[in-house]
């Protein structure tokens, strides 16, 4: 059994994290060595009865050195902070054309769904070199999506969407763990992320059972839940049309402006009276408890697939 000391680095995030880790290891290693050397040197040199000089402390060691190391540690801390914060902000910058994967977590499994509707359980296939964007939600307690090889981790919460962005840079199979304690089988809630060359990924994807893509499933729900009655203009009630609203800013009745994204659409379905669009009555009923997490994902996918103009 060969002993591994450094985890595989298989994403763009991993490269950036490892650079900071290495630098910090050098800095903290130097500080640790300094403290140990000082402790040992002083302990040996000034052991009771040794001939080393005692008496008053030299001037240099009195006040100046104290201010010196306070300033030095502060400066060092600020330097590391600035670097880490810059990296954090960089990682958070959105990238265009990311492959969107929907992830639903529940005790004790991971369900993933590709843009074309292909589903996996406790597994996820990704093409190398394509930015991936994971939109995640939980159906029960808090879970956490952790792939050590990618150096990414994000808690997955009930009633809320969280996301992860990264680009896999290496092919292979990488373990996925749940890292937020979630009950009896927490330790067994894992899976495998398989990164493939883009052409292999395409072949793999087309070999999957052809479900409807989630947008189509959402369209069926949109009718069966009765949304289309008002929002598609066929019923007596006046409700805002949904075509082309994705990605735009909408004016709300109370003067605020909200950007139409996943979380806004979720909120509007589950708590419709919270952000009413200007010019409309707050009369939509809440669908909380009626639509599940997976159905929400499909409805949102449908709404964003609507072209501008006619619904």
Which residues, numbered 175-214, are part of the site for another protein (CB under 8 A)?
175, 177-188
Shortest CA distance to 193 belongs to which of 221, 179, 172, 207?
A: 172
* CB-CB contact of 158 with 292 (8 Å): no
Q: Least separation, in Å, of the C-beta of 61 and another protein?
A: 7
Comparing CA positions, the residue from 120, 119, 173, 113 lying closest to residue 137 is: 113
Q: How far is CA 134 from CA 27, 99, 100, 114, in A?
A: 34, 8, 6, 10
67 vs 207, which CB is nearer to another protein?
67
Which of 87, 116, 170, 228 forms a contact with another protein (CB under 8 A)? 87
Closer CB to another protein, 91 or 200, in the complex: 91
Instruction: Enumerate residues 93-132 that contact another protein by CB under 8 A.
Output: 107
CB closer to another protein, 37 vs 220: 37
Residues 3-22 that bind another protein (CB under 8 A): 3-7, 13, 16-17, 20-21
Minimum Å gap between C-beta 238 and another protein is: 27
Give me the least distance between CB of 240 and another protein, in Å please. 23
- DSSP one-letter string for 158-181: BTS-EEEEE-B-S-EEEEEEE-S-
CA angle 140, 144, 149 (to 5 degrees): 150
Tell whether residue 60 is a contact of another protein (CB under 8 A): no
Of 305, 308, 287, the C-alpha closest to 296 is 287
Residues 132-161 that bind another protein (CB under 8 A): 140-142, 144, 146, 148-149, 151-155, 157-160
**DSSP one-letter string for 195-211:** EE-HHHHHHHHHHS--P
Does 52 bind another protein (CB under 8 A)? Our answer is: yes
Provide the minimum distance between the beta carbon of 141 and another protein in the complex, in angstroms, as a whole number: 4
The answer to the question of residue 257 lying near another protein (CB under 8 A) is no
Q: Could you tell me the smallest distance in angstroms from the CB atom of residue 27 to another protein? A: 8
Nearest to 219 by CA among 104, 305, 307, 158: 305
């Amino acid at each position: 059994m060969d002993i591994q000391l450094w985890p595989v680095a298989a994403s763009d995030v991993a490269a950036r994290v490892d650079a900071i880790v290495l630098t910090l290891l050098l800095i903290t290693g130097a500080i640790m060595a300094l403290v140990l050397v000082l402790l040992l040197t002083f302990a040996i040199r000034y052991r009771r009865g040794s001939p080393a000089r005692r008496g008053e402390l030299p001037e240099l060691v009195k006040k100046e050195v104290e201010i010196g190391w306070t300033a030095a540690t502060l400066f060092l801390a600020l330097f590391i902070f600035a670097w880490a914060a810059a990296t954090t902000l960089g990682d958070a910058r959105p990238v265009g054309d990311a492959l969107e994967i929907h992830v639903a977590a529940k005790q004790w499994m991971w369900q993933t769904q590709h843009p074309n509707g292909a589903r996996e359980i406790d597994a996820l296939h990704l093409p190398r070199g394509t930015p991936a964007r994971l939109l995640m939600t939980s159906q029960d307690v808090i879970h956490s999506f952790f792939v050590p090889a990618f150096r990414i981790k994000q808690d997955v919460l009930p009633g809320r969407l969280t996301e992860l962005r990264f680009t896999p840079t290496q092919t292979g199979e990488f373990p996925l763990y749940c890292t937020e304690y979630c009950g009896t089988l927490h330790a067994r809630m894992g899976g495998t992320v398989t990164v493939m060359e883009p052409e292999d990924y395409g072949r793999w994807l087309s070999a999957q059972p052809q479900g409807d893509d989630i947008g189509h499933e959402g369209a069926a729900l949109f009718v069966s839940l009765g949304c289309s009655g008002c929002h598609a203009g066929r019923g007596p009630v006046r409700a805002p049309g949904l075509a082309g609203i994705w990605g735009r800013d909408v004016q709300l009745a109370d003067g605020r402006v909200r950007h139409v994204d996943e979380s806004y659409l979720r909120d509007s379905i589950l708590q419709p009276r919270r952000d009413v669009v200007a010019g409309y009555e707050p009369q939509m009923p809440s669908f909380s408890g009626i639509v599940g997490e997976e159905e929400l994902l499909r409805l949102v996918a449908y709404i964003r697939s609507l072209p501008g103009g006619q619904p």
